[in-house]
Amino acid sequence: MRKKLVAANWKMNMTIGEAESFIEDFRMEVGEIQNVEIVIAPPFTSIPKVSELLGGSQKIRLGAQNMHFEMSGAYTGEISAPMLRELFVRYVIIGHSERRQLFGDTNAIVCKKFHTALKAELRPILCVGETLEQRDAGKEEQVLREQLIESIGEVDEDAFEDVVIAYEPVWAIGTGRNATPEQAQNAHASIRKTLAEIVSPAAADKTRILYGGSVKSSNARELMAEPDIDGALVGGASLEERSFLDIVKAASGEIEE
Ligand code: PGA
């Protein structure tokens, strides 16, 4: 059984003060929910405060939205894996489509970051997803397969234990237009098939594959009811405690719609 994981990607939102009030309220509300792992990925400047407030919580883990592939050096403006570890960050989002599209993160760069994260004992949340043009051309499976092969590279099965994959169709991110449960399930099944081939069938079976792209409390439940959808990576709807909490509850099976 794969434990559901719901991750908040705050992107370039949330000052330290805003993050503080979110975490204080959210921690109280989330109280009894045991069967879902929660990850919060604040912007770098809010990480120290969120880390302090979470105090090593097992239930709510700290994530980062990006990192550099080198451990240190002359890379102005960048943040390294050891710097994240120092702040008790456990997860790191790698290869988000905004990084790929706006900041030049190619599969080759994503692959280096992926391996650096594993080496530093950070758990990568590796993002893949097709554009609308690629989907309309019927190429989504091929695109996902290529992204996975090139972003993962050579990896051994044991190291893969810590890996989370996020399927985020580019056309669904921040657009209010989510993939249907059926579209998402098909993509997740094809991702699992590729993982079986490039890592191992056992690793593919254990790996959590999150769906991301306009997840909200109103669609979270039906998406996560699909057999290969093991949680959600949430942008816009994670900025407000109530809506994020409702998505976490949907993952735990607590709300009946
Ligand atoms: P969204 O973003 O939920 O606002 O669509 C998801 C993401 O980019 O991870």
pLDDT digits over 19-43, tens only? 999 999 999 999 889 899 999 999 9
Ligand 1 pocket, mutate which of 92, 127, 215, 239 (most atoms under 8 A from CB): 215
For ligand 1, residues with CB inside 6 Å are 9, 168, 173-174, 212-215, 233-237
Burial (CB count within 10 angstroms: exposed 0-12, middle 13-18, buried 19+), residue 182: exposed
Contact assessment for residue 61 and residue 29, using Cβ atoms and an 8 Å cutoff = no
The CA distance from 56 to 140, in Å, is 39
Q: Is 96 a catalytic residue?
A: yes
Average pLDDT score over residue span 43-60 = 96
For residue 219, give both structure tokens.
């669609």
Residue 12 CA from chain centroid, whole number: 16
* Residue 173: closest CA among 130, 227, 219: 130
| pLDDT tens digits, one per residue of 165-214 | 999 999 999 898 889 999 999 999 999 999 999 999 999 999 999 999 99
Name residue, tokens 């405060």.
49
CA of 196 to the centre of ligand 1 (A): 27
Name residue, tokens 């890592």.
199
Give the model's pLDDT for residue 255: 55
Instruction: Measure the CA angle with vertex 91, ends 189 and 206; round to 5°.
Output: 35
Average pLDDT score over residue span 120-133 = 97
Contact assessment for residue 233 and residue 184, using Cβ atoms and an 8 Å cutoff = no
Residue nearest to atom 9 of ligand 1 (CA): 235
CA of 237 to the centre of ligand 1 (A): 8
Q: Is 168 a catalytic residue?
A: yes
Give the model's pLDDT for residue 186: 98
Contact assessment for residue 112 and residue 69, using Cβ atoms and an 8 Å cutoff = yes
